[in-house]
């Protein structure tokens, strides 16, 4: 009796790239960029190593693609969250909460963006700085929308401080665990305590 062999489903290129990026983000997060190997990524996806090179060119190209995806997703979730508020305080609070929720729901991306940020390699340094600039511009836009007459340099300075504080808080949260875990809600409140109390007396508040 002849037994039919299972038919392997052909995977589209976009789906394969998604699978590779998921696996690579996890491997980079677990091992760090330097110790991660293309062999490990290929094994996790279930493809040969040449497939990875065909899609992304090199290990650094794969890292940059992982960062680019995280950058796009982060802007999407924070923008959508802020749009759901009706005042500056709510926009910031929603944006902060979306930021920490994003890192919690995408653990590998969190490690990739904030643990590896301390030891960027090659073009990754520029890519990671691009994420900071993206979030800075996003926050400047939120503040400027409610205080169009505020000094642009002042708004950018505030945004730089907020992005830096968010990054450090994310790192601090990630390195805690067990009974000392800090929730996304708590982190949001800590950041709001610091940031909004200052902005509330600054020239970016509508009259």
Question: What is the pTM assigned to this prediction?
Answer: 0.81
| pLDDT tens across the length of the chain (207 residues) | 555 544 456 778 899 999 999 999 989 888 888 889 999 999 999 999 999 999 999 998 998 899 889 889 999 999 999 999 988 889 999 999 999 999 888 876 666 666 665 565 567 778 888 888 999 999 999 888 878 888 899 999 999 999 999 988 988 887 776 667 899 999 999 999 988 877 766 655 544
Q: Where are the beta strands (DSSP E) in the chain?
A: none
pLDDT of residue 80: 95
Nearest-Å Rg of the Cα atoms of the chain is 20
Q: Give residue limits of the domains in the chain.
A: 68-199
Single out the residue of 176, 191, 67, 177 nearest to residue 121, CA to CA.
67
For residue 62, give the nearest of 78, 45, 81, 75 by alpha carbon: 45
Residues 6+ apart with CB under 8 A from 170: 99, 100, 103, 110, 114, 187
68-199: CATH number: 1.10.357.10
């Amino acid at each position: 009796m002849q037994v039919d062999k299972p038919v392997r489903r052909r995977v589209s290129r976009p789906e394969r790239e998604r699978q590779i990026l998921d696996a690579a983000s996890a491997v980079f997060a677990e091992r760090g960029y330097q110790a991660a190997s293309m062999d490990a990524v290929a094994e996790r996806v279930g493809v040969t190593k040449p497939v990875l090179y065909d899609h992304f060119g090199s290990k650094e190209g794969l890292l940059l693609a992982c960062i680019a995806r995280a950058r796009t997703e982060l802007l999407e979730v924070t923008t959508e969250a802020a749009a759901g508020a009706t005042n500056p305080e709510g926009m910031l609070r929603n944006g902060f909460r979306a930021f920490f929720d994003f890192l919690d729901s995408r653990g590998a991306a969190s490690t990739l963006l904030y643990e590896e940020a301390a030891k960027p390699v090659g073009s990754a340094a520029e890519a990671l700085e691009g994420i900071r600039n993206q979030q800075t511009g996003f926050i400047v836009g939120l503040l400027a929308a409610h205080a169009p007459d505020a000094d642009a340099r002042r708004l950018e300075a505030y945004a730089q401080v907020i992005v830096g504080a968010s990054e450090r808080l994310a790192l601090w949260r990630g390195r805690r665990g067990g009974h000392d875990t800090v929730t996304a809600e708590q982190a949001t409140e800590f950041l709001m305590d610091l940031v909004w109390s200052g902005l509330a007396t600054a020239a970016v508040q509508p009259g």
